[in-house]
Amino acid sequence: MLCTLLAGCASTVQAPYPAIRADSSPAALERGASIFHASCEACHRGGDVETASGAPLHELPSYMGRFHASNLTSHPTAGIGAVSDEELARAIRYAVSRDGRLMVMPSYGMGDKDLAAVLGFMRSKHPLFTPEAKPAPRSEFSFIGGLGFRFITGNEPVQRPPIGIPVPPKGPTLEYGRYMAHDVYDCASCHTPGFSPEKTSDDEVFSGGMAFKDSEGNEVLSSNITFHGTGLAHWTLEDFTRAVRDGIAPDGSAVRMPMPRFRGMDSDEARALYDYLRSMPPRKNAVEGARPRLTATFQRPAWVTTAQGSAPPDAPVSSPAVVATPAKTASSESATASAPASAAASDPGSSPHAAGPAPSDSHPPLPSPAPVDASKLFTQFGCAACHAPGARYHAQMSRAAGRTEEELVQWIRTPARFLPGTPMPTYEELLDVATARALAQWVKSGGPATMASATH
């Protein structure tokens, strides 16, 4: 038995090459960009680089081995410049590498049209794919990790057809919500415990408990996203949309890493995903560290509003839900007007990227607190987890000193305006211009460098 397992860890697998070609039409590029930013960029672009040239996968448990996301730039040898569309399609659809080995990355069952759109975006001239000559380090299983991965997966890729997978009609339907949850955003894999390719069809689907590492190296268990009291019970559609799109939980805290931000998600997708998760059987699983668990009497911060006539979260799935859209204030309008059209960067020291979907300006910011304790805010809003000394994105803080105060204010409040795939939450609803300016001044003065080091 041991010999079989050892042989399986090093063996190749059989998976077909989908006959799918990159679609470079304008509509496909927009769709492909939205999916890539949401589902691919967080792993393949390191926090200190501008390209999808690969990054260490610290989120995976260290006992499994050392893993590194691939270089997806257009470089002919270090990247995917010489990789065929069919090879890329196989990697995405079956999680099988060019040399035929099963990878730890998710396998995506997205339809042919969406897969072609992703390939088209990866073949585009977007700055993310600017050639990077440095190859990504090879991922290596530990002895225990290799045995476990081989045993759980059976060293067999997921079974799905190579071509002919349809994309359901887009709309606020359960069918489209299921498609987004399982095949595009892959919520099911991350929010279901274990590594089995079949786990997303068992009774624990969406109940949480999958182990990851956060940016400080601490273990994080994925949340229960069924509508049980230990999960998303009492979350409104607006709560849900803000959390998954902007990275802000109903209590005003930042959604825990490594949860990505689905910046390109529109109202139809949000409603479809929300209603689909509500249609699933509630699963009791009080995941340690998950937050917030809401009650029927939970008092949301003042900036969270619900439109008159909105459906409560326990209403039937078929009932309409309305997202509030209060009028913009002068401060929010001025901040929006001052944002440069070609702005951009994942951090204040980065180079411009192509513009992506603009963040919503539908909620008024809070009044400025006075005086502003910038150091406290930096910790309260989760900035320290990523930007304190020793954290994954701390290097960005030193580059921030070279940016103007106004640029930093805009970056703090609306980071997705500068880089659609950034994991940084959108703080526009929590920080008005004056408060963000105080925080920017503290950052420029070197405040983050004075904080305690992140634990790894």
Highest mean pLDDT among 70-79, 203-212, 315-324, 380-389: 70-79
Query: Could you give the CA distance from residue 70 to residue 72 in angstroms, rounded to a whole number?
Result: 6
Beta bridge partners, 211, equal 221
Q: What dihedral do alpha carbons 337, 339, 341, 343 form, nearest 10°?
A: 180
In terms of Cβ atoms closer than 10 Å to its own Cβ (0-12, 13-18, 19+), residue 441 is middle
Highest mean pLDDT among 239-243, 269-273, 382-386, 426-430: 269-273
pLDDT reading at 327 higher than 50: no
Q: Comparing C-alpha atoms, which of 52, 24, 25, 22 is closest to residue 421?
A: 52
DSSP states of 78-132: TSSTT--HHHHHHHHHH-B-TTSPBPSSPP----HHHHHHHHHHHTS--GGGS--
Mean pLDDT of 211-216: 73
pLDDT reading at 429 higher than 80: no
Helix/strand/coil for 437: helix
304-340 burial code (b ≥16 CB/10 A, e <16): bbbeeebbebeeeeeeebebeeeebeeebeebbeebe
pLDDT at site 94: 92
Highest mean pLDDT among 197-211, 280-294, 370-384: 280-294
Q: CB–CB of 15/157 below 8 Å?
A: yes
Those residues with Cβ within 8 angstroms of residue 243's Cβ, 6 or more apart along the chain or in another chain? 235, 249, 250, 255
pLDDT at site 102: 84
- Is residue 350 very low, low, confident or very high in pLDDT (cuts 50, 70, 90)? very low
pLDDT at site 323: 31
Mean pLDDT of 384-396: 76
pLDDT at site 230: 93
Q: Comparing C-alpha atoms, which of 246, 247, 253 is closest to residue 293?
A: 253
Mean pLDDT of the chain: 78
pLDDT at site 204: 87
Q: What is the pTM of this model?
A: 0.72
Residue whose tokens read 């070197």: 446
pLDDT at site 334: 33
User: Which amino acid belongs to residue 355?
Assistant: A
pLDDT reading at 154 higher than 80: no
pLDDT at site 355: 38
pLDDT reading at 398 higher than 80: no
User: Cβ–Cβ contacts within 10 Å for residue 354, how many?
Assistant: 15
Mean pLDDT of 376-399: 77
The tens digit of pLDDT for each residue in 47-61 reads: 668 899 998 887 777
Mean pLDDT of 316-327: 35
pLDDT at site 269: 95
Q: Comparing C-alpha atoms, which of 193, 196, 183, 200 is closest to residue 156?
A: 196
Q: Comparing C-alpha atoms, which of 225, 363, 360, 226 is closest to residue 281?
A: 226
Strand 219-221 to 211-213 pairing: antiparallel
- Is residue 363 very low, low, confident or very high in pLDDT (cuts 50, 70, 90)? low
- Is residue 33 very low, low, confident or very high in pLDDT (cuts 50, 70, 90)? very high
196 Rama class: left (phi>0) / alpha (psi -120 to 50) / beta = beta
pLDDT at site 92: 95
CA separation, residue 154 to residues 111, 195, 373 (Å): 25, 11, 54
pLDDT at site 352: 38
